[in-house]
Structure 1
Amino acid sequence: MYEQAIVIRNDLKMGKGKMAAQACHASIQAFLHAQKISSSAVSGWMNEGQKKVVLKVNSEKELLEIFKNVNIEGLPCSLIRDAGRTQIEPGSLTAVGIGPEKEEKISKVTKDLKLL
């Protein structure tokens, strides 16, 4: 089974709409990266219904640690930096998108995170 994981910073206290927008940015950017490096995973994910899981971290440090570990594992990913036009400071790191990729590969990095 394939999935995509979105990791959102919970400490920024973004509104629900803002969090949804950041999750969408992370999802799309990670998907575009996956198309370049793992077309078979993208095809599998598309055929299986595009499962997504949204998880949370409580600091920029935790978000960057996840991003680092995802890169070490060689998974398609994205790191989202907000433009700062609405609720949060410009340049704030808000989310990481991971995959699509096989669930077991993603869970190796995200297994200790809680659902948003």
Structure 2
Amino acid sequence: MLASRHLTYAALLALGFAVGVLAHTWWSADDEDVDDLSVVDEDAPAAAGECKMILGVRMDLKMDKGKIAAQCGHATLAVYKAAVKQRPDYVLAWQRRGQTKIAIKIPDEAHMAQLLADAKKAGIPAEVIQDAGRTQVAPGSRTVIGIGPGTSHLLIAAPIAQMDQLTRAFKLL
């Protein structure tokens, strides 16, 4: 009786080990598939020219530095996700050139809305962040606009001149 119990435990242990090996093999294969989806091509040469993303912060909301930093983080991620779908060539060039981000002061929501419309019309990725309103600003407040990334690379239909033209009137933050 004791021997059969030990044999059962040994069989269960072997079965558990086999399932673990198979699961590890299966999960490892999935990890390699995810790596293949990376936007960055490690073998590609770095893009020449200027590349940047612009973050426009509404100044009429009087957000403190921490709130501005959080909202800029949200805008960076939102416009990055949009750009990966819309213009992966811009994203690749931007990643290769250091992922520069420029923060500018937007006076109010009307200026932000116009900037969003102009960027979309020019085919430049742009996203506006609406705050949940749990801390400093009213729920639904449009706090930051992310534009780009863009590049001045000659081989890519480069929007950086358009981005500069759209944001030229605004001061740096």
Q: TM-score, normalised by structure 2?
A: 0.65
Amino acid aligned to 1:108: Q
Aligned to 2:128: 79
RMSD (Å), alpha carbons: 0.8
- How far, CA to CA, are the matches of 1:82 and 1:26 in structure 2? 11
Deviations 1:19-43 (A, max 9, x none): 1111111111001100001111111
Q: What letter is aligned with 2:83?
A: A
Structure-2 residue corresponding to 1:32: 81
Q: Tell me, what secondary structure is at the counterpart of 2:132?
A: coil
- Paired letter, 2:67: K
Paired residues for 1:22-101 under 5 Å: 22-101=71-150
Structure 2: tracts of 5 or more residues without a match:
1-49, 152-159
- After TM superposition, the structure 1 stretch with the greater mean CA deviation from structure 2, 104-113 or 52-61, is 104-113
- Structure 2 residue matching 1:86: 3-state secondary structure: coil
Q: Does residue 111 of the first structure (1) align with residue 168 of the second (2)?
A: yes
Specify which structure has the bigger relative contact order, considering alpha-carbon pairs within 8 angstroms and separated by 6 or more residues. Answer: 1
Deviation, 1:106, is 1.4
In 2, Cα distance between the equivalents of 1:15 and 1:31? Answer: 24
4+ aligned runs moved over 4 Å, structure 1: none
The structure richer in strand per residue is: 1
Judging by fraction of residues, say which structure has more helix. 2
Aligned equivalents of 2:87, 2:165: Cα separation in 1:
18
Return the offset for 1:94: 0.5
2:70 aligns with: 21
Aligned length: 116
The structure number with the bigger radius of gyration is 2
C-alpha separation between the residues in 1 aligned to 2:136 and 2:74? 16
- Unaligned stretches of 5+ residues in structure 1: none
Cα distance in 1 between the residues matched to 2:163 and 2:76: 14
CA distance in 1, matches of 2:111, 2:166: 12
Cα distance, 1:62 vs structure 2: 0.8
